[in-house]
Chains A and B, each alone.
Chain A
């Protein structure tokens, strides 16, 4: 059974700080990794994808992947109250198999 684990939170950070969200996965064959943001009452929105070890930056967001340790993280710099949401980690292997989601980490950015 492929599993994706996330701390449910809530993770509370002050406005302007760096929020660090972590995700571990069980399947060593995983090749593609995604972060989704879900606001309360809304559907998940794709914010980052990463496929290779290392860091990938997009604006205030940085995704980090370490396949040897089987973890992927998302850093949000200069956190804003509008970043308050649940962040879902999703993982996929190379075959015709679906995305496997973690249960998400709830982030609260305090003004």
Chain B
């Protein structure tokens, strides 16, 4: 069974730009959660989608948004990038919350 895939793996953007990251969960998994990981803050929850609906949202500004498609693939978008958005963005898939299986992550660098 294929694992969680994330694209792209690496991104370099400049301040003010916007970016879209993609996550394909494990086949059959309907829940996709997104996390931001930085050295100082650890893993911080962004949002969770289940069956195309946002079920939970973390404490991030509205510049961070996401969506989920009918095939459970999910995208997250960050608009008006700031230097502090540089991080590893991870998605995790699960059948219905509970234990999550992480993808390899997207390393975003904002210059």
Contacts and interface: CB of A to CB of B under 8 A. Distances in A.
> Do the two shown chains form a genuine complex with each other?
yes
Interface of A: 32, 34, 36, 42-46, 49, 88, 92, 96-104
Given A97-B56, A101-B43, A103-B42, A32 B105 contact: no
A92 B48 contact: no
B79 to A, nearest CB: 23
B97 A98 contact: yes
Interface residues of B, number: 23
Contacts of B97: 92, 96-99
Interface of B: 33, 35, 41-43, 45, 48, 50, 55-56, 58, 88, 90, 92, 97-105
A45 B56 contact: no
Given A34-B99, A43-B102, A104-B42, A98 B48 contact: yes
Contacts of B88: 43
A36 B98 CA distance: 13
A21 B55 CA distance: 32
A42 B42 CA distance: 14
A36 B102 CA distance: 10
A96 B96 CA distance: 9
B100 A100 contact: no
Contact of B56 (A32, A96, A104): A96
Contacts of A104: 42
Which residue of A43, A96, A102, A104 has the most chain B CB atoms within 10 A of its CB atom? Answer: A43
A88 B35 CA distance: 14
